[in-house]
Chain A
Amino acid sequence: MTVESTAAARKPRRASKRTSAAKKPESAEPQLVQLLTPEGERVEHPDYSIDLSADELRGLYRDMVLTRRFDAEATALQRQGELGLWASLLGQEAAQIGSGRALRDDDYVFPTYREHGVAWCRGVDPTNLLGMFRGVNHGGWDPNSNNFHLYTIVIGAQTLHAAGYAMGVAKDGADSAVIAYFGDGASSQGDVAESFTFSAVYNAPVVFFCQNNQWAISEPTERQTRVPLYQRAQGFGFPGVRVDGNDVLACLAVTRSALERARRGEGPTLVEAFTYRMGAHTTSDDPTKYRADEERAAWEAKDPILRLRAYLEKEKFADDAFFTALDEESETLGKRVRETVRAMPDPDPMALFEHGYADGNSLVDEERAQFAAYQASFADSAEEGK
């Protein structure tokens, strides 16, 4: 036998009693900043108060409803084969709209690949987000036109960009702030730890906004950490706070306060939005392999949209006409998204050679010419065939 297991005879010296798989962290009970209960009751918090007009409250509701609608439309489009993949934000609307609406125009956002609600708040046309999921580009929008950076697929990488950008903001003497989004899974990446270090050491005006949606594909948060994530900040020398990620008011208040702190030159803050990914990780994922149905049901009871609606109705901040009009607006958005995506053309093959280098590159020019000639050879033979 040429293939033999040299170690096959070796036995483990002792049966491992010490399990390497951590049990649920002891202090996992969330200590949440909450301003609106799952039942839609307003509650006060000593450190975070908020006073919004009925108009502003309706605005937040509208943002969440339209974002959810957009997201559902994208999921449907993936099922119809119009998109190659979709990463749904279902359940995370409050975390994204609350934090997104806390931003000023001159603040800068570094998202992952799931921040559709934040993009919405930044005024990025939602159909722009679909190009990369359809496979016609890798992002495509101009990050500087809305101060919303391109989506980042390599998890955690953008947190370092955010830290660096924020260092630049401080150098410039500007009073804008930077926000970096990432997930509980990403919190394990070295890049995230390094971005904490850099931003603490340089006192960079950055808010780290971690959406702890409980899962990183199939891995639960306890596979990433033994302490509640927000507590990590302390070791780096800046504050961490855990907010009810399904409470749009609390997310708004906490993010606003962290951004103001950054603007005052007091450095970074880690915000952990405790929330839940109600759908699959992406349309390629199958959560039935690892997740209990009851868990989702328990979180559905904390739905961020229903909770704000209950409050709006109870306080008579919104009437039937508002909800009916919003339904219509949702329909219109859905239709626009469908039509725009279906009409998105495949890129021209020559686009392959665009934008590799800002200054151009002779090798690419040579390959472009070869490719063009090669493409033309098909056209010629089609001509001849006529």
Chain B
Amino acid sequence: MAVEKMSIAKALNESLRLALDNDPKVLIMGEDVGKLGGVFRITDGLQKDFGEERVIDTPLAESGIVGTAIGLALRGYRPVVEIQFDGFVFPAYDQIVTQLAKMHARSLGKVKLPVVVRIPYGGGIGAVEHHSESPEALFAHVAGLKVVSPSNASDAYWMMQQAVQSDDPVIFFEPKRRYWDKGEVDTDSIPGPLHKAVTVREGSDLTLVAYGPMVKVCLEAAAAAREEGKSIEVLDLRSMSPIDFDAIQASAEKTGRVVVVHEAPVFYGSGAEIAARITERCFYHLEAPVLRVGGYHVPYPPARLEDEYLPGLDRVLDAVDRSLAF
């Protein structure tokens, strides 16, 4: 067994290295991914070892990056493209939504689009505008895409493997403020499938549903609530599209109370979808309405205000109290 402690950044790097090693068709593409190793160094050293033909510094054109990745995929390659930051995916949004997501269906299944679009997302790093957003719902709403986000190093490692091997396009959201968080990665033992949720903490009074950067906050909230005698379960969704509603339902039926937590604005966010489904699926098991904690319906604020904007421990615990008060 090969168990190693590594950061999420390192796990992604190792995973991409393995993907390049395993399959000559895998390509890495993006701005600054070569010599610099990406602005977050996720592709550090890969161009040195695999060459410029496989780890490709692209012109600065997001639509061009995704559009050409589609062409390469049609030709039999498996491109993994990096969008430098969340806010810069939008020049490519047209290609992702009108082309990448739909080509498989339009070809009646003849064409496969094994493209991974990696997007470092979310706030908490004190960045300037367009560097802290959580646009996952905009992608999850589009049929034809898989949308996932790891919350820890092991998932980062294995979910990337699974994303690269998927014949469908995967939008791979990387929680950038967790890049440097370390965890154990067993590089031999493959965890469950990409779309499965995982219970990362057992509890009986209430379920916190989260993914990506918010899983850690929810685990901290659950630990704090424990000291007040509350038993909180935490579900790491891992995939926002598809969503593992069976896992959510099972936990909701067990605890009777659910709070969904994400960084993206609550309004029309993934929490809305989850809350609606839980209500449909297990209305009579619920002790309280499903509550949501997330960003406000405002532009992502300047860095000095992001602590107010981002759901922290207190806001999560506040929602827990409100749910338990029903």
Give chain A's interface residues, CB within 8 Å of chain B: 1-8, 10-12, 16, 19-21, 84-85, 113, 131-138, 153-156, 185-186, 188-191, 216-219, 223-224, 284-286, 289-290, 346-347, 349, 351-353, 356, 361, 363-364, 367, 371, 374
- Name, among B61, B91, B297, the residue most crowded by chain A CB atoms within 10 Å (CB to CB): B61
Give the nearest-CB partner of A113 in chain B.
Answer: B128
| Chain A nearest CB, measured from B165 CB (Å) | 6
Interface residue B229 (Cβ < 8 Å from any Cβ of A): no
Instruction: Tell me if A135 and B128 are in contact (CB < 8 A).
Output: yes
Q: Which residues of A contact B305 (CB under 8 A)?
A: 135, 346-347, 349, 351-352
25 residue pairs A–B, Cβ–Cβ below 8 Å: A2-B193, A7-B23, A7-B78, A10-B25, A19-B52, A21-B52, A21-B56, A84-B128, A137-B302, A155-B60, A185-B59, A188-B64, A189-B62, A189-B91, A190-B63, A216-B31, A217-B39, A218-B36, A219-B32, A219-B60, A223-B59, A347-B304, A351-B305, A356-B298, A374-B315
Query: Are A223 and B35 touching (Cβ within 8 A)?
Result: no
Inter-chain contact B129/A3, CB cutoff 8 Å: no
Residues of chain B contacted by A11 (CB below 8 angstroms): 24
Q: Mark B58-72, 1 if CB is under 8 A from A, else 0.
A: 111111100000000
A133 to B131, CA, bound (A): 12
For the complex formed, measure the closest distance between the CB of B295 and the CB atoms of chain A, giving whole angstroms.
Answer: 10
Tell me the complex Cα distance, A285–B304, Å. 22
Query: Closest 4 interchain pairs by CB?
Result: A135-B303, A188-B59, A218-B36, A185-B60
**Complex: how many Å from CA A3 to CA B23?**
13
Among residues of B, the one whose C-beta sits closest to the C-beta of A356 is B298
A-B contact count (CB 8 A): 155
Q: Which of B61-87 contact A (CB under 8 A)?
A: 61-64, 76, 78, 87
Tell me whether A10 and B23 are in contact (CB under 8 A).
yes
Q: Contact at A136–B302, with CB atoms within 8 Å?
A: yes
Question: How far apart are B183's CB and chain A's nearest CB, in angstroms?
Answer: 19
Q: Indicate if the CB atoms of B57 and A363 lie closer than 8 Å.
A: no
State A5–B126 Cα separation when bound (angstroms): 39
B128 and A356 contact, CB distance less than 8 A: no
CB-based contact A186/B60 at 8 Å: yes
Q: Indicate if B309 sits at the interface (CB-CB under 8 A).
A: yes
- A133 near B128 with CB under 8 A, answer yes
Could you tell me if B128 and A353 are in contact, using CB atoms closer than 8 angstroms?
no
Secondary structure class of chain A's binding surface, majority of residues: loop
Q: A218 contacts which chain B residues (CB < 8 A)?
A: 32, 34-36, 57
> Which of B59, B87, B165, B306 makes the CB contact (< 8 A) with A6?
B165
CB of B190 closer than 8 Å to a CB of A = yes
A288–B38 alpha-carbon span in the complex (Å) = 14
- Beyond the given pairs A137-B302, A367-B297, 7 more chain A to chain B contacts, judged by CB atoms under 8 angstroms and listed by A's residue number, are A5-B22, A7-B23, A19-B52, A154-B88, A223-B58, A289-B35, A352-B309
* C-alpha spacing A5/B301, complex, angstroms: 42
Of all chain B residues, the one with the shortest Cβ separation from A377 is B318
Query: Which one of B23, B56, B297 has the greatest number of beta carbons of chain A within 10 Å?
Result: B297
Instruction: Evaluate contact between B297 and A363: CB separation under 8 angstroms.
Output: yes
Asked if A349 contacts B308 (CB within 8 A), the reply is yes
Give A263 to B324 CA distance when docked, in angstroms.
Answer: 68
Query: Quick one: CB contact mask for B113-156 with A, threshold 8 Å, 1 for yes?
Result: 00000000000001111110000000000000000000000000
Query: Cβ of B162 < 8 Å from any Cβ of A?
Result: yes
B325 → A minimal CB distance (Å): 14
For chain B, residues 277 to 306, give those with C-beta under 8 angstroms from any C-beta of chain A. Answer: 296-299, 301-306
A347 surroundings in chain B (CB, below 8 A): 301-302, 304-305
Residue in A closest to B300 when the chains form the complex, CB atoms: A138
Contacts of B34 in A (CB 8 A): 218
A19 (CB) vs chain B CBs: closest residue? B53
Known: A153-B128, A218-B57. Is A289-B24 also a contact (CB below 8 A)? Answer: no
Within the assembled complex, what's the spacing in Å between the Cα atoms of A132 and B303?
9
B158 within 8 A of A: yes
Q: Please encode chain B, from 2 to 22, with 1 for each CB lying within 8 Å of some chain A CB and 0 for all others.
A: 000000000000000001001
| Chain B residue contacts of A131, Cβ below 8 A | 302
CB closest chain-A residue, reference B88? A154
Q: Which residues in chain B, 211-225, are within 8 Å of chain A measured between CB atoms?
A: none
User: Cβ of A136: which chain B residues have Cβ within 8 Å of it?
Assistant: 302, 304
Q: Complex Cα distance A284/B305, Å?
A: 21
Q: How far is the CB of A189 from chain B (nearest CB, A)?
A: 5
A153–B298 CA distance with the chains assembled, in angstroms: 19
A352 near B301 (CB under 8 angstroms)?
yes
Q: Do the beta carbons of A132 and B128 come within 8 Å of each other?
A: yes
Residues on the B chain within 8 Å of A134, using CB: 303-304
Contact yes or no, A352 B32, CB < 8 A? no
Given contacts A10-B23, A190-B91, contact A224 B59 (CB under 8 A): yes
CA distance A85 to B315 in the complex (A): 29
Contact (A289, B128) CB under 8 Å given A3-B165, A356-B298, A367-B297 = no
CB B26 to nearest CB in A, in angstroms, measures 8
**Residue of A whose beta carbon sits closest to that of B192:** A2
* A184-B56 Cα distance, complex, nearest whole Å: 18
Are B60 and A8 interface neighbours, CB within 8 A?
A: no
* Residues of A with C-beta under 8 A to B308: 349, 352, 371
Min CB distance B161 to A, Å, is 5
B298 near A353: Cβ-Cβ < 8 Å: yes
